Amino acid sequence: MKDFLSAPRLAELVRICTEMYAHGWDERNGGNVSVLLDGADIDGYIDTKNVLRELPTGFSAPLPEGSLFLVTGTGKYFRNVRYDPADSLGVVRLTDGGKTAQLLWGFTGGGTFTSEFPAHMMSHAARLSVDAENRVVLHCHPDGLLAMTYVHDLDERAFTRTLWQMETECVMVFPEGVNVLPWMLCGTNEIGEATAEKMKTARLVVWAQHGIYGAGRSLDETFGLIETAEKAAGIFLKIAHLPWKQTLKTEDLRRIAAHYGVTPRAGYLD
Ligand code: 2HA
Ligand code: ZN
């Protein structure tokens, strides 16, 4: 067996956690990430017969028996992930109808998966129902998007259109727009269910006064989605209080979408 610490999947997640912290998106223990693994990702690295601990999930994770996830741990600081990945991260396998997660690697200090495990598992199921290639769910607290939820209408169409107007890239990067949840208590099955419902129509779900969830086929794609939306939110906050002389118009957004062959969310560019 090779050491999982040298596995590409692990290295990739460590890099992303480090990068997220550097962007200021994950203060203290803020944020969490889960990556759906293929058997091949851990083959030769982890003995799948050796269950280290059984962790109750507290709900029936709606995913196939045996699904494998690399996931950040509850209370772990993204700032520290790179110094001790085996303590901050874990590989778990769902069993017992998703009511139990078997720990196969990591959480060496006795920890467990993120407090947002329900939102992650339900979001994976929702994304997989519309995109069989989805692998990543990523949550963080980027300050521009968070600030925007205090001063901007939370209507999804309006919120999306504002972001699209802030930078030419936006409608290309997230043509389906961003969905928005009003403030809800985090760490609960209820916010998990609400997030998953929103995930069926967009890869980005803003949690008002809290942060954002992103989903995608890779860590790079998902990070890039949030990075782009956050950049747009930052521009909005720089100009929101100033008199605008011009902006990207609906017609411009339509032209961008047509030129780059993306389909904007129906009804958002009427
Ligand atoms: O503590 O970000 O939403 C991690 C979180 C909870
Ligand atoms: Zn959070």
Q: How confident is the model over 137-188, as pLDDT tens digits? A: 999 999 999 999 999 999 999 999 999 999 999 999 999 999 999 999 999 9
pLDDT of residue 132: 98
Instruction: Note the pTM of the prediction, 2 decimals.
Output: 0.97
pLDDT of residue 208: 99
Instruction: Return d(Cα 120, Cα 106) in angstroms, integer.
Output: 18
Query: What are the average pLDDT values for consecutive 10-residue runs of the chain, which has 270 residues?
Result: 97 98 98 98 98 97 97 98 98 98 98 97 98 98 98 98 98 98 97 98 98 98 98 98 98 98 98
pLDDT of residue 133: 98
pLDDT of residue 122: 98
Instruction: Return d(Cα 21, Cα 29) in angstroms, integer.
Output: 10
State the ligand closest to the CA atom of 74: 1
Which of 17, 25, 116 to mutate to test ligand 1, by most ligand atoms within 8 A of the CB atom? 116
| 29 alpha carbon – ligand 2 mean position (Å) | 9
| 51 alpha carbon – ligand 2 mean position (Å) | 29
Instruction: Return d(Cα 223, Cα 21) in angstroms, integer.
Output: 12
Q: Give the residue numbers annotated as catalytic, written as ranges.
A: 116
Domains of the chain: 1-115 (3.40.225.10), 116-270 (3.40.225.10)
Instruction: Return d(Cα 219, Cα 227) in angstroms, integer.
Output: 12
Ligand 1 binding pocket, CB closer than 6 Å: 29-32, 115-116, 139, 186
pLDDT of residue 38: 97
pLDDT of residue 128: 98
Which atom of ligand 1 is nearest to 31's Cα?
A: 2
| 26 alpha carbon – ligand 2 mean position (Å) | 8
